[in-house]
Structure 1
């Protein structure tokens, strides 16, 4: 993605993106064919900056919160007590300002409340339900235990963070992941590993592996069909639904450009649309032709 694209997706301007570069909030991407090429990780970071700033925080406070994140290649750990207290102090100060302007800033006050609760609980400041974060932590732990690279999973987390920043992750996703038992979470980890191996394959072998992986994914999802339908039912319809679907396709193509991974996505959608219930819900959200 170019700077204009990433700015549009985040609801900001190229000038603001460059300002975040200068402040060190957003890393500068590599230059490809004479222009900066942004990836999913940059969009996820940019949307998180916007999400925190829209909650009433200054960019200095945003920088402190981002600096308190655990390293991505290490297991998450609780922030140092001193830093935790500084973050809480800043968040509560922001809440005090919001309370003084309650009538016009009710929505921002609620966001800050959520940030405070997460910091007090030692949780990451991210616009994704805690249950989903724990779900991905459990899968990543299993992937690491099998001595596999969890990089693919990190990309999926970033995509989820982008969607969460835009309010596109329904609350009904929580009961779905919480319904998965230990054996099913283990199967999810195996699916992640299989997906990460697709780029190593070529030709017909890659296509067959992608299709088999899609079939296993559908089978696993339909073990809790009612909960899966509840998630789809909560997705927006009309223009908002089409926007969500378009954004998801853009993020998936950017995060997983390999042809075999794209074949997996196409086959997965094709299989899901064979279920009358799922197909009806998909079409309500994204239009008559979700694959277009």
Structure 2
């Protein structure tokens, strides 16, 4: 049979068959002139297609073809693991699509909101309690977080922080947004006094580690919070000097508080 007939018979294309020739998976017919394929070619092609449709890579199939002693069981296990990861990724994609459906953008942009469902729920609780004055800053913060979540580790850090959100913590967060809205109307000295007061309250409400439970975050918190990209993102969203100073001090103190507590716990374990 000719290459087109073989391709139609097996359910593939002449281009794919030529690719299998190139990869050394399917022997080229030995007859001179126009290639004529035999039953053996058809059987080999069916088996190649069966393996590829089962999730095995062409590189693995080539190894099986050229090394009969290769452990097929191990290759099948690796292929199964690859399929499991593909299934997991499809589930993650489906979950993201569900989140997009359930939490559309609220800022007039036709593109949907791009944050995890748990964070969207947290924002929903916060937003319903904010004053009209605080709403624009709240929306900016949400948009900034959409970008920040693309920074390595930020998504896991936020997820860890959201595990133990209590009504008290929500109220303290609402108050921070209201303070942020008032900052442009305040003198720098008065802003600093209110900042210190709110920081003391946050430290009391969120605990010594600011609600971050995993100790291995000690090597992540500072790089995430102090990366130039984070500061550029925040300062581009918030223009007033008082707001920028608030952000700078907040991040500095958060890092210092967290790392000092981690160091204290580490010393305690060593003793």
What is the match of residue 196 of structure 2? 211
CA distance in 2, matches of 1:231, 1:153: 30
Provide the rounded CA distance (Å) in 2 between the counterparts of 1:132 and 1:231: 22
Change (3 A) 1:229 1:261: farther
Q: Does 1:138 align with 2:138?
A: no
State whether structure 2 residue 237 is matched by structure 1 residue 255: yes
How big is the shift at 1:114? 3.3
Aligned residues: CA RMSD:
3.9
Deviations 1:205-257 (A, max 9, x none): 2332233333333333326x37414287187589xx47972111111111122
User: Against the structure 1 CA distance between its residues 109 and 197, is the aligned structure 2 distance closer, same or farther, given a 3 Å change threshold?
Assistant: same
Q: 1:15 corresponds to which residue? A: none
Q: Which residue of 2 aligns with 1:185?
A: 170
Q: CA deviation at 1:148?
A: 4.1
Q: Distance in 2 between matches of 1:148 and 1:179?
A: 28
Task: Work out the CA distance in 2 between the residues paired with 1:131 and 1:102.
Answer: 36
Q: Contact conserved, 2:103 with 2:120, CA < 8 A, in 1?
A: no
**Match 2:94 to one of 108, 113, 126:** 113
Structure number with the bigger relative contact order (C-alpha 8 A, sep ≥ 6) is 1
- TM-score normalised according to structure 1 size: 0.48
Matched, 1:197 2:182: yes
Asked if the contact 2:172/2:202 (under 8 Å) is kept, the reply is no
Q: Which has the larger radius of gyration?
A: 2
Structure 1 stretches of 5 or more lacking a match? Answer: 1-98, 281-292
Indicate which of 140, 155, 170 corresponds to 1:155.
140
> Deviation at 1:149?
3.2
Aligned residues: 177
Unaligned runs of 5+ in 2: 1-52, 58-81, 105-111, 264-271
TM-score, structure 2 normalization: 0.51
Cα distance 1:219–1:271, how it changes in 2: closer, same or farther (>3 A)?
Answer: farther
Q: Distance in 2 between matches of 1:232 and 1:268?
A: 21
Structure 1 residues 108 and 276, CA gap change in structure 2 (3 angstroms): closer
In 2: Cα distance, 1:275 partner to 1:220 partner: 14
Q: How many Å separate the matches in 2 of 1:175 and 1:242?
A: 14
Contact residue 119 and residue 162 of structure 2 kept, 8 A: yes
Kindly state the Cα deviation for residue 191 of structure 1 after the two structures are TM-superposed: 1.4
- Please state how far the C-alpha of 1:276 moved relative to its aligned partner: 4.1
